[in-house]
Structure 1
Amino acid sequence: ILSFLLLRKPINVLHFCGQAPLNTRIVGGVNAPDGSWPWQVSLHSTLYGGHFCGGSLINNEWVLTAAHCLPDVSASSLRVYLGRRTQEGVNTHEISRNVRTIVVHPSYDSNTNNNDIALLRLSSTVTFNNYIRPVCLAAQSSVFISGTSSWITGWGDVQAGESLPSPGILQETMVPVVANDRCNTLLGSGSVTSNMMCAGLTQGGKDTCQGDSGGPMVSRQCTVWVQSGITSWGYGCADPNAPGVYTRVSRYQSWITNRIGQNLPGFVAFNPPTSLLPVLFIKCLEKCLLFLNKCHLL
């Protein structure tokens, strides 16, 4: 048995990541159908008495989440639920694991929310199926332009101060990426760093909220889903002109790789959808014309 274990080849996560066989929608409702987001996990702690944050499965034994979820919890107090859809009902495909190790980014700053990222190593590996699969992660070269469609999921409050009603079904909604310069204008100059990204509607109405922290923001590229962000912070929940702010996953490829070491997550270079390229060109042209006018070159 020992020789077999020593010779066993590591899993190539790229063969599995980002595939959601039971998710066939482009635009959907509010309650997420069972198996739609098979990388979504629910973090529970004895400290909080139940669900308190989300996360995403990135290979067969590591979960990605937000550092701000973990300031007061120990590994021994955590329980990770995978394949879960409802917090109160029956989850036929659910499994759970304890946490062996918590790894918080060494440069995480709780005052600025910069480097809001952490890894959890599960107590034992999990087996992939249609309801439990890893998500692909945005590689360092990824580009998410303004307007890129992104899906956010979680069991958090449905609006500020209003908990998710029973039976607590996983929620999903789609929001567009907001450029960092625009987001800084809306939220306060300099508060959104290059390690962050924003998403939301100008009129509000769709956003993450308390309890969604640590969960994934994903975008679809061809046949796979790529995690671009980790739910991090924001002002209020779904307020107008107040996009949600997410940890920019692509900035942490090296850190994640160095911490995990083997059976690495599937990193995928996300590129702008071709349908958005004309929009990007027009926006660049508008900025160039504005600059030329200011410099009296036109």
Structure 2
Amino acid sequence: MESKIAMDTLFHRYSRSILLSLSLLISPFIAAHSIDDAQALKVKGGQPIADDSQPWQVSLQDMGQHFCGGSLVAPQWVMTAAHCVEDYDNDPATLESLDIRVGVTDLSDTSQGAYAEAAAIFVPTWWEGEGDIALIKLKEPITDIPYLPPADERTMRESGYEGAMATVSGWGATDEESAGLPNVMHTVNVPIAPWYFCAMFNGENGDLSENEICAGYIDGGKDACYGDSGGPLIIKHRGRAVQAGIVSWGSGCGQPYKYGVYSRVASFSDWLRSTIKNNSD
């Protein structure tokens, strides 16, 4: 299994790798979710966000450099990928090096959003190979920025079905060959792919867990990329944004016949609820 890191912080932290190798498979799903427009195929990192439509988006930074994404899922809690924080522990000296920015669109604008500090990090002891998820408790709650509710099983049945459109966002590379990361958040829409497509054709990267979901186009072209790890995959449920996935792993960015792989948030509903309940002030 390959994971990608933000190019500007190579020696600091793991970041996103996204896309699972797939073989060419002809099906109604593929036909309905192919990109025929040549221009669309050029948009690997999506389009810059023009407003504050993703206020819950989090930038995790080390020494002022963005390396992973995350999301504010409760006033005092950030959800991200476990591999983003595996080099941190709960020693205060270590946590001090983790910078958290919430509610910001342009990272170069220091006046945007809120700055937060980590109080503790929680990762399931069984996460590796079973789900790439972590919670960061903040020292102080953020009450003036909306949070993004995690999807549960009922929500996924109703709105997170195969073929449903989802949105992924972050400050990751806009192209696989990009040497740097953008300051302005980008967003891209991708359909949720059938789980068995990934499970059947991911031999070179290891087995796909039932705690993971895939999203993207069979033609490639639109996807998360380096630096997007930990960020949210969002679906609409009854008119409200909810988080269905966490950018996790894969190979390359926007390549044909390869989907992005995300931790399936609903699979961790019990862990999320109990961790927040048992560790809240």
Normalised by the size of structure 1, how large is the TM-score? 0.72
Number of the residue aligned with 2:192:
177
Q: Which secondary structure does the structure 2 equivalent of 1:138 belong to? A: coil
Give the alignment partner of residue 34 of structure 1, picking from 43, 48, 51: 51
Give the alignment partner of residue 100 of structure 2, picking from 75, 80, 98: 80
Residues 1:137 and 2:150 are matched in the alignment: yes
- State how far apart, in whole Å, the 2-side matches of 1:165 and 1:81 are: 16
Task: Kindly state the Cα deviation for residue 62 of structure 1 after the two structures are TM-superposed.
Answer: 0.2
Between the two proteins, what is the percent identity of the paired residues?
Answer: 35
Once the two structures are superposed, residues 268-294 of structure 1 have per-residue CA deviations (whole angstroms, 9 ceiling, x without a partner) of xxxxxxxxxxxxxxxxxxxxxxxxxxx
Letter in 2 for 1:85: T
- For the 8 Å contact 2:74–2:149, the answer to whether it is kept is no
Task: Kindly state the Cα deviation for residue 181 of structure 1 after the two structures are TM-superposed.
Answer: 0.3
Number of the residue aligned with 2:210:
194
- For the 8 Å contact 2:172–2:181, the answer to whether it is kept is no
Task: Kindly state the Cα deviation for residue 34 of structure 1 after the two structures are TM-superposed.
Answer: 2.5
- State how far apart, in whole Å, the 1-side matches of 2:198 and 2:170 are: 23
Structure-to-structure mapping, 1:158-173, within 5 angstroms:
158-163=174-179, 168-173=183-188
- State how far apart, in whole Å, the 2-side matches of 1:34 and 1:82 are: 15
Give the alignment partner of residue 146 of structure 1, picking from 120, 139, 162: 162
Structure-to-structure mapping, 1:1-298, within 5 angstroms:
30-46=47-63, 49-73=64-88, 74-88=94-108, 90=109, 92-109=111-128, 112=129, 114-128=130-144, 132-141=145-154, 142-143=156-157, 144-163=160-179, 168-188=183-203, 191-261=207-277
Once the two structures are superposed, residues 138-164 of structure 1 have per-residue CA deviations (whole angstroms, 9 ceiling, x without a partner) of 113332222110000000111223145
Task: Kindly state the Cα deviation for residue 222 of structure 1 after the two structures are TM-superposed.
Answer: 2.5
- For the 8 Å contact 2:171–2:181, the answer to whether it is kept is no
- State how far apart, in whole Å, the 2-side matches of 1:139 and 1:120 are: 20
Task: Kindly state the Cα deviation for residue 220 of structure 1 after the two structures are TM-superposed.
Answer: 0.8
Q: Which secondary structure does the structure 2 equivalent of 1:258 belong to? A: helix
Structure 2 unmatched runs, 5+: 1-45, 89-93
Once the two structures are superposed, residues 211-260 of structure 1 have per-residue CA deviations (whole angstroms, 9 ceiling, x without a partner) of 10000000112221010000000111111111000000000110011111
Number of the residue aligned with 1:10:
none
The root-mean-square deviation of aligned C-alpha atoms, in Å, is 1.9
Q: Which secondary structure does the structure 1 equivalent of 2:235 belong to? A: strand
Aligned residues: 226
Task: Kindly state the Cα deviation for residue 92 of structure 1 after the two structures are TM-superposed.
Answer: 4.1
Q: Whose relative contact order is higher, 1 or 2, with alpha carbons under 8 Å and at least 6 apart?
A: 2
